[in-house]
Amino acid sequence: MDYRIVWSPEAIEDIESIAEYIERDSKFYAKSVVNKIFQSTEKLKEFPKIGRVVQELGREDIRRIDSL
C-alpha cells in the first residue's frame, strides 16, 4: 500500500516560523533544520506506524515524531 504525508497548513506555517527565527543567525542552519524536519517524516511512507499517536486527536493516522 502506498502512503503519503499530508502537512497541515498550520504545520507548514510553524516550519516557516522556525526557519525565519533561525535564519536571523544563520541561513545555513535554518535550511538544515527545515530539511531535517521534512526528511525525518519521509520514513513514515514505508513505516506508517512509527512515531506516537497524537492522543488529543485520537486518530491512528496522525503521528508525532519527536526527535530529528
pLDDT at 68: 56
pLDDT string in tens for the chain (68-residue length): 678 888 999 999 999 999 999 999 999 999 999 999 999 888 888 888 888 888 898 888 888 887 65
- Where do the structural domains in the chain lie, given as residue ranges? 9-64
Strand partners, 64: 52
**What is this structure's pTM?**
0.74
CA-based max dimension of the chain: 42
Task: Please name the residues in contact with 56: beta carbons below 8 A apart, sequence gap of 6 or more.
Answer: none
pLDDT at 67: 65
